[in-house]
Amino acid sequence: MIQMYDVHKKYTENVEALNGINLKISKGEFVFITGPSGAGKTTFIKIILGWEKIDRGQMIINGINMLKIKRSKLSFLRRNIGVVFQDFKLIKSRSVYDNIAFPQKVIGIPYKEIKRNTWEILKNIGLSNKKDSFPLELAGGEQQRIAIARALINKPKILLADEPTGNIDPEMMWEIMKLFIKANINGTTVVFATHNRDLLKTTKQRVIHLKKGKIVE
């Protein structure tokens, strides 16, 4: 599903965000990426999504060579990838319903199906009563659940998360984790970047430790 061979990404002459990364993440796996600030976690997420190009090495995402991918094929790749950010990135001027409906409209799903899918996922995350609310009217944990629902609505093969529990309280963190675990049980490959030690202590999933752009454990 995700394969990296001697992957390098440099932003400045003296600092490599990723330095010689070699790994394989299998289909249906749940992997945590951890490390201190500046370790390369966000860059790791961005290169999988195609927001950043690698400088050297080989990277295969869902059968596509990311070093050779054409810009026209990036949108096709991203249809199979959902992404969740720490700061939610919801559209503030649109309702909860519209935030979840939007990615479905982008790929041309019929209106009736959009309505059914959106209502179903809102019930699954326990926020059907908030469908007409706007993001800034919601608590942080509610916004994050909406962001996860939006990332999952098109049933992506890969779900990327960049510190998704960083802005919510510990109790809500476990509620958020249940959504990721459920997605993984349903077959989605999950790559979850975090520095939350409490979360990592309780997990049985594989944990990849980054430090200064290198895998150290």
* Predicted structure pTM score: 0.90
pLDDT for the residue numbered 47: 92
pLDDT for the residue numbered 173: 83
pLDDT for the residue numbered 94: 95
CATH homologous superfamily for the domain 2-215 = P-loop containing nucleotide triphosphate hydrolases (3.40.50.300)
Where exactly are the structural domains of the chain?
Answer: 2-215
pLDDT for the residue numbered 90: 92
Encode the chain in three state secondary structure: CEEEEEEEEECCCCCEEEEEEEEEECCCCEEEEECCCCCCHHHHHHHHHCCCCCCEEEEEECCEECCCCCHHHHHHHHCCEEEEECCCCCCCCCCHHHHHHHHHHHCCCCHHHHHHHHHHHHHHCCCHHHCCCCHHHCCHHHHHHHHHHHHHCCCCCEEEEECCCCCCCHHHHHHHHHHHHHHHHCCCEEEEECCCHHHHHHCCCEEEEEECCEECC
Q: What is the mean pLDDT of each run of 10 residues along the chain (217 residues)?
A: 93 85 95 90 91 91 84 80 88 95 92 94 91 93 91 93 82 84 93 88 88 89
